[in-house]
Amino acid sequence: MGTEPVPAEAEFEFRVEVPEPPALEATEEDLALGAALYTTHCASCHGDGAVSDSEFSDLRYSPTPVHRSWNAIVVEGIYATGGMPAFKATLSTKDAEAIRAFVVHQARLAYETCNAIDRDAEPARHQSLCTRVLPGD
Ligand code: HEC
């Protein structure tokens, strides 16, 4: 009584919701190119359709600073030491921008779907479609 064992490590889970994606103008051609390039070069780690629940980022959740640094991350490879390869040899800046357009498109679909879900009525669906555990330590 009064001496409930305390878990050695409290299990906190920080979940973030799919953010409002950045504004982006893209043609159908850009989107088609971006989708194809994404499937070939990115899906193996970041998931089909830019949907990921693995240890690799779900890019639909990437915040604005990541979008601003997209070319540096994807083409130049500034995160290469963290396992995010540089695509300098295979993708141009224009290719990377088409992939970004596809990712933003996927993010927008998710954002719209999530705004339409009644999270009180469907908490499990909302959690799985609209939230991710925040990566960190
Ligand atoms: C071999 C696996 C792998 C492949 C293939 C890969 N990535 Fe990554 N990517 C990573 C890892 C690891 C990170 C750093 C940790 C994380 O964010 O998951 C990362 C991070 C990123 C980030 C930063 C995300 C954020 O929110 O901080 C972006 C953007 C990104 N990748 C885009 C791409 C794009 C675009 C492609 C395809 C051209 C691609 N990645 C292919 C492994 C990969």
- The alpha carbon of 86 and the centre of ligand 1 are apart by a number of angstroms equal to 9
Ligand 1 pocket, 39 CB below 6 A?
Answer: no
Tell me, yes or no, whether 30 lies in a domain. Answer: yes
Tell me, yes or no, whether 108 lies in a domain. Answer: yes
Helix, strand, coil in percent for the chain, rounding step 5: 50, 5, 45
Q: Give, in degrees to the nearest 5, the angle at Cα 45 between 12 and 14.
A: 15
Mutate to test the pocket of ligand 1, among 56, 75, 84 (most ligand atoms within 8 A of CB): 84
Give the pLDDT confidence of 44-80 residue by residue, as tens digits: 999 999 999 888 999 999 999 999 999 999 999 999 9
Tell me, yes or no, whether 62 lies in a domain. Answer: yes
Residues spanned by the domain of 100: 15-133
Give the pLDDT confidence of 100-116 residue by residue, as tens digits: 999 999 999 999 999 99
Tell me, yes or no, whether 77 lies in a domain. Answer: yes
pLDDT at position 75 is 98
Tell me, yes or no, whether 97 lies in a domain. Answer: yes
- Given a cut of 90, is residue 134 above it in pLDDT? no
Supply the CATH number for residue 64's domain.
1.10.760.10
Tell me, yes or no, whether 8 lies in a domain. Answer: no
Q: In total, how many domains does the chain have?
A: 1
Tell me, yes or no, whether 1 lies in a domain. Answer: no
Q: Whole-angstrom Cα distance, residue 72 to residue 77?
A: 6
Ligand 1 pocket, 65 CB below 6 A?
Answer: no
Tell me, yes or no, whether 110 lies in a domain. Answer: yes
* Alpha helical stretches, state H, 1-137: 28-41, 43-46, 64-68, 70-71, 93-116, 123-130
Q: pTM of the full predicted structure?
A: 0.91
Report which residue type is found at 123: P
Atom of ligand 1 nearest to the CA of 55: 18
- The contacts of residue 14 (CB under 8 Å, 6+ apart) are 133, 134, 136
From residue 108, alpha-carbon distances to 37, 86, 92, 111, 137 in Å are 19, 26, 24, 5, 28
- Report which of 39, 26, 104, 43 is spatially closest to residue 68, judged by C-alpha positions: 104
- The alpha carbon of 117 and the centre of ligand 1 are apart by a number of angstroms equal to 28
- The alpha carbon of 131 and the centre of ligand 1 are apart by a number of angstroms equal to 19
- Given a cut of 70, is residue 11 above it in pLDDT? no
Question: Tokens for 70?
Answer: 């997209």
Q: Which residue minimizes the CA distance to atom 25 of ligand 1?
A: 62
pLDDT at position 127 is 94
